[in-house]
Amino acid sequence: MPDPDPHDDTSADHEQFEKAQLAQDRDAASVATADVNDATAQRLVSDLVDADVLTPVPEDQVLVHEPSGTAFDSPTQLAVYHRGWTAARDADEEAD
């Protein structure tokens, strides 16, 4: 019986497919933060202040994210953090 052609071996194809699927799942589960510009951050900060999720501390020039207790001196940093924090919280709720 002749040896099988190594080019016909598809045994590793399922591993490549699985890796690609896992990468897509990670991408779909990640939170987009690149689109947080200054205007978006300012809108989010205003919304969070109105919802009592964020407390401005004028004398220290910081914004305190109440659920986590984390202070930020940049609205953009806070907006990116809040998006990630919200995504993590939502993922935890889905896991339960």
- Which percentage of the chain shows pLDDT scores above 70? 73
Dist. CA 21–CA 36, nearest whole Å? 27
Could you report the per-residue pLDDT of 20-43, keeping only the tens digit for each? Answer: 777 666 655 555 556 788 898 999
Q: In what order do the strands lie in the sheet with 70-72?
A: 54-57, 62-65, 70-72
Kindly list the domain boundaries of the chain, sorted by start residue: 35-96
Q: What is the pLDDT of residue 92?
A: 76
Dist. CA 84–CA 30, nearest whole Å? 9
Residue 80 has a CB neighbour count (10 Å cut-off) of 18
Does position 88 have pLDDT exceeding 60, yes or no? yes
